[in-house]
Chain A
Amino acid sequence: MILSEADARSITNKILALSKADSCIVTLDGSEERHVRFAQNMATTNGSPSSLDIGVESHFGKRSGSASGTDLSDDALAALVAAAEDTAKRAPENPEFMPPVGPQTYPTGSSFSTATQGTTSDMLASAILPVLQKAQARNLQASGFLDIGTAFSSFANSSGLFVYDQGTEVLHTVTARTPDGTGSGWAGTTHFDFSKMDVAAMGAVAIDKAIRSQKPARLEPGKYTVILEPSAVSDLLGILISEFDQRAADEGRSFATKKGGGSLLGENVFGKNVTIYSDPNDPLVPGAIYSDDGLPAQRTAWVEGGVLKNLPRSRYWAQKTKGATVPSPTTLTMTGGTTSTADMIKQTKRGLLITRFWYIREVDPQTVLLTGLTRDGVFLIEDGAITRPSCNFRFNESPVAMLNKVIAMGPSVRAYGEESIGIPVAVPTLLVDGFTLSSVSDAV
């Protein structure tokens, strides 16, 4: 369900008027989606879900409690406020309680497309049909998901803050497989504007990789030079960023903790060619306009020339450590370079080109050591050319180590991986030295 800014404000005011607490926060979130899902060249579970969430957080002194619901009727809103207040009254005082912030100034926001919001299920099916036909003509099986949604959110409090944000989002992923199960290719990405997403081209990439990846060679595990395509990079970078936290670093339980105490802020943690930032106004990956506690999303440098510049810092921790509050990112960009993938291949004596990763989990938070697997297109490079498809591998590698071994970068592009952290991400293709592939996977 999509509420207009005026409707969101009116419901928010109704809730704030019901509140008897010392202070109160009201959040509204809703979405409307349309998607087609397909597998084995046929539609499977196509849908049009609609969602709504109404949140109330009440405070009495330093006691807090919250309640959420999906019913906008007057009775339900009154029950919601009563439940939040009842919960707050029974909570012990939180010595870290921070009162709500006052009105803020926000970026304008640019991740909404009216045409995308108006996309129909017919239009989705029309975009997918040629991909299925092409796959069928090549004797391949295509599976995928095309999802278009509009979402709104608002955040308000009893100190006069009100912010409303609305965006559209398109997610498309497609896999093509050979019927004998020896070849598989994938493509996928996100955008806020459906007209910018070339569904046919993505289908063509998946089909091409499925054909080229057939009957892969079984190679030895070990340390490889790898070309990581953007989906693979976005997964590793997203997980790394989710480990960024000033408090955890200061408390001694983060990769960003310094021996002897304190954090690695200001130190060379990554290679000099690594710069990572967030900017809600980034034209490639515009993000939500507000972040934690309703604070404005802001341009933030996380890593600059390999130096760790910022970690998200809550209002409480900022006050305690006498630092500035650093809101969590609502979008993420790794600055790219100018090397094309073809040139990366040319300069590689022996290495692997990796399409994407799968099932990545943290093995050791101390070093952000991750494990996961390659999937849907791994190719062996020998003497500057792709020579044959490779088996899949399990990797055991840390993005902290990896970002110290980047040899070359392509331009930064929008990317999507299955371990997506839920914010838009732009990353380059990376040529990386010494990436640890610990065992072979027989999966295709």
Chain B
Amino acid sequence: MRVNRRSFLRSVGGCACATLLPSALFLGERNAAAIEAADKLDLTGKLHLADVALVAAKAGGASYADFRLCRYQTEYLEVREHRLEESSTGISAGFCVRVLLDGTWGYASSPLATEDEVRRTTLRAIEVAKASQPLQLRKFVLEDVPSHQDRWDMPMKADPFLVGTDEKIAHMLAINEAAMKAGADYATMSFAFVREEKCFASSVGSRITQSRVRSMPDGEVTVVDKTTGKFATRATLAAPRGSGYDYILAYDFIGEATKAAHQAREKLKAKPVAPGEYDLVLDPTNLFLTIHESVGHPTELDRALGWEANFAGTTFCTPDKLGKLRYGSELMHIVADRSQEGGLSTVGYDDDGVRSVGTEFDIIKDGIFLNYQTAIGQAQLIGQPRSNGCAFADSWNSFPIQRMPNVSLQPNKKKCSLHDLFSEIKRGIYIVGHGSWSIDQQRHNFQFGGQLFYEIKDGKLGGMLRDVAYQGSTVEFWNSMDGIGDKSTYFLGGAPNCGKGQPEQTAPVSHGAVPARFRQVTVLNTERKDIA
């Protein structure tokens, strides 16, 4: 559905002081050991609890049940200017039991992983399902859910939880130092890390354990002009990734912080955009979010079935359009995957226990809408055999619902650089980074901002513009795309906080993109002169 407003992590970042100091490594290990000590259950213990839940669910009449025991290790660090604002670590652990009873779902969860509590919680899930049955005017029917016994671990070079907190803080302070030195009035930088561990067992015999890590840098510099009362910001273009600390080290956050301070200052004096129709070249640091909102969400089957009508919304992309709708120009090839290196949605099995890594599928090929994203109990409603592995629950406390895999725009097979895209534009704008973002509940009308805007005139990149936002209607917009970059221009963006469901759940998802050219898009000037 949407990317949360308040929780969206912004970022700057990056340092070359990357090697692990022996002391830092030692402290990191010690911290990890203390945390491990608190995780009393080994795999046998976890699977025993799973058996307790699944036996109780069967005895209670469930035709299907699953049990997820999850543990999330987190670290959040935030610096502001030259000082540490927050350093926190966390472990959140608990389990969820989900039952399908005579076609009605019920789930219950608890942080207390004991045999008695698992039994009590399973009975609560059954009670919820039974109580909800009078509302089940149409029963849920599951396809033949597959059974898997496997372990999957995200490949990673440097475990962020084995890097000393002090080293990370020093890295962040150095980034802010660079921004301040380059003229920023204020600078914030944060690093957030998550290790997600799940043990899944289901009544069809699946027994799956998985682990993956997310590294999420964020930051912003601000410059202020006290005489005019104006200020400007520039957020990092770094994306959150399903990667280790090596990703953080490889990104030139210090170079970016310096540049960001200069660019924010330049924004204050940039030329206001004249509203009108422009040809746009969207950098992948901007386009990834447009893909998320205008392609990722409309092609979610639960929305098409009306299951999100009360909150996330429905979609213009109804099942009768499968295989028929010309979603975009022939250059538009959108692939869904849960395999891409660094992808926030990359995982071996989804939270329904369906194999997801290595099961890529086309959502749009040659501009034609071909496939929805699905979870169990959905595909057969549109005449398809089974789920394509797109379920996700954001916590041990949540019910798995259909969520996005990595949804990415494939590069041009022909050679095409960013500057090749500029060359055929008489009057246009090049937009870098994501700013404000909003789209209607059926995914037609959108408005996006950006971090940086540059004039394009007669094929050449010109000066900076300010107060730019573009509006469009999804299908018209994607059909106006007449140029895209080749694989050398590919960038993996992402959002750590896509919201959907009730209670609302937050999902991390990546989107690969290349720069792309769109013709005659409506551009607004967002300055309000009537407000002092």
A21-62 interface bits toward B, Cβ cutoff 8 Å, 1 = contact, 0 = none: 000000000000111111111111111111111000000000
Count of A-B contacts with CB under 8 A?
326
Q: Is the CB of A49 within 8 A of B108?
A: yes
From residue 40 to 86 of chain A, which have CB atoms closer than 8 A to chain B? 40-53, 64-73, 75-76, 79-80, 82-84, 86
Cross-chain contact B440 with A35 (CB below 8 angstroms): no
Judging by beta carbons under 8 Å apart, are A86 and B229 in contact? no
Q: Does A246 contact B (CB under 8 A)?
A: no
B445 touches A45 (CB 8 A): no
Cβ proximity bits B217-244 to A, threshold 8 Å, 1 near / 0 not: 0000010111111110100000000000
Cβ-based interface call for A349 (8 A): no
Beta-carbon contact of B105 and A44 below 8 Å: yes
Q: Is A7 an interface residue (CB 8 A)?
A: no
Cα distance A174–B233 in the bound complex, in angstroms = 39
A144 within 8 A of B: yes
Min CB–CB distance A100 → chain B (angstroms)? 16
Q: Is B444 an interface residue (CB 8 A)?
A: yes
Of the candidates B83, B84, B164, B185, the one having the most CB atoms from chain A within 10 angstroms of its own CB is: B84
Q: What residues of chain A lie closer than 8 Å to B90, measured between beta carbons?
A: 67-69
* Complex contacts, B186 vs chain A, CB 8 Å: 251, 253
Give chain B residues whose Cβ lies under 8 Å from the Cβ of A40.
Answer: 138, 305-307, 309
Q: A42-B138, A43-B104, A369-B528 are in contact. Are A68 and B440 (CB under 8 A)?
A: no
> For the complex, is B503 an interface residue (Cβ under 8 Å from A)?
yes
In the bound complex, do residue B111 and residue A76 qualify as a contact, i.e. CB atoms below 8 Å apart? Answer: no
Task: Chain A residues near B89: list those with CB within 8 A.
Answer: 65-68, 83-84, 87
Interface contact B105-A141, CB-CB below 8 Å: no
The answer to whether B440 and A177 touch across the interface, beta carbons within 8 angstroms, is no
Given A46-B129, A129-B135, verify A51-B111 contact (CB < 8 Å): yes
Assembly CA distance A95 to B84 (angstroms):
9
Provide the residues of chain A in CB contact with B83, threshold 8 Å: 92, 94-96
Number of A interface residues at 8 Å Cβ cutoff, please give it. Answer: 113
Q: Which residue of B lies closest to A50 (CB)?
A: B110
Chain A hits for B471, CB < 8 A: 394, 438-439
A358 close to B (CB within 8 Å)? yes
Q: Flag if A136 contacts B224 (CB, 8 Å).
A: no
Taking a contact as CB atoms under 8 Å apart, the answer to whether A69 and B229 are in contact is no
Q: How many Å from the CB of A268 to the closest CB on chain B?
A: 11
Within 8 Å CB of A88, what residues of B?
A: 87
Q: Which of A48, A67, A401 contacts B125 (CB 8 A)?
A: A48
Q: How far is the CA of A357 from the CA of B91 in the complex (A)?
A: 36
Known A71-B91, A359-B438, A361-B5; judge A121-B131 contact (CB<8 A). yes
Is there an interface contact between A71 and B88, defined as CB atoms closer than 8 Å?
no
Given A42-B137, A66-B87: A174 in contact with B310 (beta carbons within 8 A): yes
Nearest-Cβ distance from residue A438 to partner chain B, whole angstroms: 7
Is B530 an interface position by the 8 A CB rule? Answer: yes
Contacts of B436 in A (CB 8 A): 361-363, 371
- CB proximity of A335 to chain B, nearest CB, Å: 23
15 more CB-based (< 8 A) A-B contacts, given A43-B136, A401-B528: A35-B503, A43-B105, A45-B399, A46-B132, A48-B127, A66-B88, A70-B93, A91-B165, A92-B84, A147-B503, A359-B441, A366-B231, A396-B447, A439-B471, A442-B444
25 contacts between A and B (CB under 8 A): A1-B111, A40-B309, A41-B138, A43-B133, A46-B106, A46-B131, A47-B128, A50-B109, A65-B87, A67-B89, A70-B92, A75-B37, A83-B35, A147-B503, A258-B229, A259-B532, A359-B2, A364-B467, A364-B526, A365-B233, A369-B526, A375-B440, A394-B445, A419-B5, A443-B313
